[in-house]
Structures are given as C-alpha cells and as structure tokens.
Amino acid sequence: MKVLVINCGSSSLKYQVLDMQNEELLCKGLVERIGIDGSVIKHERADGKGYKLQVPMDTHKEAIENVFDALLNTESGVLASLDEIGAVGHRVVHAGEKLTESTLITDEVVKILEECFDIAPSHNPPNVLGIKACQALMPNTPGVAVFDTAFHSTMPASSYIYAIPYDYYTKYGIRKYGFHGTSHKYVSERAAKMLNCNLKDLKIITCHLGNGASVSAIKDGKCIDTSMGFTPLMGVVMGTRSGAIDPAILEFIMSHENLTIEEMLNVLNKKSGVFGISGVSSDFRDLEEAADNGNERAQLALDIFAQKIKAYIGSYIAELNGADVLVFTAGIGENSISMRQKICANLENLGIKLDPERNNLRGDEAIISTVDSKVKILLIPTNEELMIARDTVEVVAKAK
Ligand code: ADP
C-alpha cells in the first residue's frame, strides 16, 4: 500500500509518500507560506528529481491540491493516479485523554480533535484543516490520525498530575500530556533492534533534541515520564522556548514591561530559550560558531541547554531505578557532536561513558558509548513519517 503522510502546520505542510510494501520513501516535500504572500511548494522525488514552484495558496486545501499536482507530475511525480494512495496518515499533535492510540478518522474523531482546540490552540486547528482538506479532495480514501500525545498516555498519574487543585484536572483536563511521542516511540523501538534486545527488557531514556526538545523515560516499552507538559512549552530549554521557569516570573515581567498574557506567552514561546539567552540565534550551528569565536552568552546558552538535559537524564535514571540505554535524536541530537559530548560529560558515576571517537559522526545509527559504559548510548535518526505510515497501514488493515 502507498501511504501519503501529511503534517500540517498553521502556514506550512510537510508531506511524504511511502510504499509500505518495503517501507520505501518515494518522495517528500514542503509547502510554505500558506495564506501568506509568496506561497511556495518544494517537491523532491527519492532520485533527487523535483521542483520548487511559487504559486498562490490561500488555504490548506489549495496546498494539498498542489501536493497532488506534484505527486502526479510527469517529470518528477510518483503516481499515475491518486487512486494508488491507499490511505492518508495525518500527524495530529493533541488528542487530549480521549484518544490514546492511532485511529481511523471519522466525524466523531474530528469532533474530539476540535474539542482539543482549547488546549492546543496553535497545533490542532491546522491539523484538522489538513484532515478536512483531504476528506474533501479524496472522499473515498481512508485517513488515520497519529497523535504526538499517544505514546505518553501510559504515564502514571504520579507523573502527569500537577500540584494544583485537583479540580482543574477534572474540570479542564489540566495535566501533563507530553509531545514528540511518535519520535520517542520510534527511537526506543529502533534501540531495542540495534541492541538485539527485547524492548520490554530495557530501561531507556530518549532525548529528542530539535527546535523543540523533550526527554522521555521508557520502561517495558512504555513511557513513564516525559519533560514536556500540558503544552510543548514545558521542560528543557529549547531553541526559542523557555522550558520550565518559576511561574511567578510571569506576573513580575508583565507588570514591569506592561505586557498582556498573550504577549508574555509569545516571549516565552518565541523569544526565549537559547535564542533569548544568547541574543544570537536559536540554531545550534550559529551558537557553536559564535561560542568558538568567544561569544560568552552563546557559550552560556549551550551550557544551560546541556545542564537542563543532564538534569532530566539524572532524574529519569532515578525514576527508572537505573537505565540501560540513552538515545539521542532529532536535529541537535543527530548532528551536534559537541552537544552530545557536553551532555554526557561527567556522568560516569551514573554509568554513562561516551566514546569520543565513536561519537564523531552525524546522522547515522550508531552505538557511541565506550565498550565498558553501563548505559549504552545510541545515536538514532528519528523517522516520524515512517512511524505514521506504519500505524496508518495497521489501523486501515484492522478496520477492514
Ligand atoms: P524541528 O523541531 O523543527 O523538527 P529539527 O529536529 O530539524 O527541528 O532540529 C533543527 C535544529 O537542529 C536546528 O535548529 C539546529 O539547531 C540543529 N542542527 C541541525 N544541524 C546541526 C548541526 N550540524 N550541528 C548542530 N546543530 C544542528
């Protein structure tokens, strides 16, 4: 079966087509600036053939129409007809507590996702726009929703309940949900395969370090804790997000800087993190270059980032009563040799010993710990799209 995987943001849309007979990637692409001047689609087939086209796209539906044109293109397309697509897998960020595993999209499911707009206002509305556009354009092709929150639904209440009046949980669903679940799940499964072990026998800590970053603790193949919270703003320091800070700081800054709550949250989401600390960039390549050239705040940002990740690793080793595996993934985890080194430095007492030579690589699956490291350290490129496509095939097969 060929599966179209769609990941809709507010003004962007990423897509891939995979042939699931052999899990082969056929093409991928990106639409940017949907609803904004200068909309553009970049399409690339697996053999490198593709194109970049500027064409007005006011809605997600128009964006998907352009994706279909790309898939059917005679020069660089991958389909003779749209009927070849057996199912569409949609990345959906938030499913609240009602949906805890990947599911066939029905009107009822869409309704539940709309009910989550309140708790995921920047993510779920564009996800649902993508779903509705596909339903309108391919009414006979089944759609499957795969949730970022699903993998974390196994956390015990002691991990997900906040120490605020319990009523806020029962009335509004205020609790830790966790995100990047598809990635944490994928790399934990790969880790077991790479080590030739049964996933259920491993205690794993996964570090998804990209623009957004989160750390998870996994036991028996199930998530028992994760660093992101009610929203993806919580946890470690990120590119532009603050991660955890003392909540009383909000009121202080708002009154001194005369900010509304929306403006304050914008600062915490878009102007904080390593970008806010350094004043240089949210991109770790820029920060590493600036730090090498003597920029002290860039160095400080890198130091703080590493320190926060270390703190989660330590606390998850305690929660898991030891760890067998530590995984690095996503843009920074896969590519920043120096950040992996910095995070793992001085953790020998916890059984974590990075091998500097094995660590000297980017973007490939590898074991990068020393032979005598009690905790095996793995580098595993994430593949959320493959995971979404796998779930899509499974859910569609079950529904038949
Ligand atoms: P997203 O959360 O947007 O999916 P990614 O997982 O693609 O993010 O990670 C993007 C980040 O990865 C960039 O902002 C950059 O900080 C980091 N990154 C990518 N390549 C490198 C590299 N060679 N060295 C250091 N950091 C890198």
> If you average pLDDT over residues 121-142, what whole number do you get?
92
pLDDT for 375 equals 98
Q: Determine whether the shortest distance from the Cβ of 182 to ligand 1 is under 6 A.
A: no
pLDDT at 121 over 90: no
**CB of 86 closer than 8 Å to CB of 396:** yes
In this structure, what are the phi and psi dihedrals at residue 251, rounded to the nearest 5 degrees?
-60, -40
d(CA 10, CA 126): 5
Ligand 1 centre distance from Cα of residue 282 (Å):
9
| Closest ligand 1 atom to Cα of 284 | 16
As a whole number, the mean pLDDT across the chain is: 96
| Closest ligand 1 atom to Cα of 283 | 16
pLDDT at 145 over 90: yes
pLDDT for 9 equals 87
- How confident is the model over 61-118, as pLDDT tens digits? 999 999 999 999 999 999 999 999 999 999 999 988 999 999 999 999 999 999 988 8
Question: Cα dist. 122→8, 145, 219, 245, 290 in Å?
Answer: 11, 17, 31, 21, 32
pLDDT at 177 over 90: yes
Which residue has a Cα nearest atom 3 of ligand 1? 211
**CB of 162 closer than 8 Å to CB of 128:** no
pLDDT at 172 over 90: yes
At what angle are helices 284-292 and 296-320 packed, to 10 degrees? Answer: 120
pLDDT at 122 over 90: no
> If you average pLDDT over residues 234-261, what whole number do you get?
97
pLDDT for 245 equals 98
| Closest ligand 1 atom to Cα of 339 | 25
In this structure, what are the phi and psi dihedrals at residue 295, rounded to the nearest 5 degrees?
-75, 110
- How confident is the model over 154-167, as pLDDT tens digits? 999 999 999 999 99
Ligand 1 centre distance from Cα of residue 111 (Å):
34
User: Which one of the listed residues 37, 58, 148, 201 is annotated catalytic?
Assistant: 148
Ligand 1 centre distance from Cα of residue 318 (Å):
29
pLDDT for 347 equals 98
d(CA 199, CA 206): 13
Q: Determine whether the shortest distance from the Cβ of 179 to ligand 1 is under 6 A.
A: no
Q: Determine whether the shortest distance from the Cβ of 330 to ligand 1 is under 6 A.
A: yes
**CB of 275 closer than 8 Å to CB of 253:** no
**CB of 327 closer than 8 Å to CB of 335:** no
Q: Widest CA span of the chain, in angstroms?
A: 61
Which residue has a Cα nearest atom 27 of ligand 1? 332
19 is catalytic: no
| Closest ligand 1 atom to Cα of 213 | 2
pLDDT at 400 over 90: no
Residue of 187, 332, 339, 380 to mutate, ligand 1, most atoms within 8 A of C-beta: 332
Ligand 1 centre distance from Cα of residue 66 (Å):
27
CATH number attached to the domain at 2-147? 3.30.420.40
pLDDT at 319 over 90: yes
Q: Determine whether the shortest distance from the Cβ of 211 to ligand 1 is under 6 A.
A: yes
pLDDT at 384 over 90: yes
Q: Where in the chain is the domain with CATH 3.30.420.40?
A: 2-147, 196-384
* pLDDT bucket at 287, cuts 50 / 70 / 90: very high
* pLDDT bucket at 120, cuts 50 / 70 / 90: confident
- Cβ-count burial of 75 within 10 angstroms (0-12 exposed, 13-18 middle, 19+ buried)? exposed
**CB of 329 closer than 8 Å to CB of 382:** yes
pLDDT for 123 equals 84
Ligand 1 centre distance from Cα of residue 330 (Å):
7
> If you average pLDDT over residues 200-206, what whole number do you get?
98
CATH number attached to the domain at 196-384? 3.30.420.40
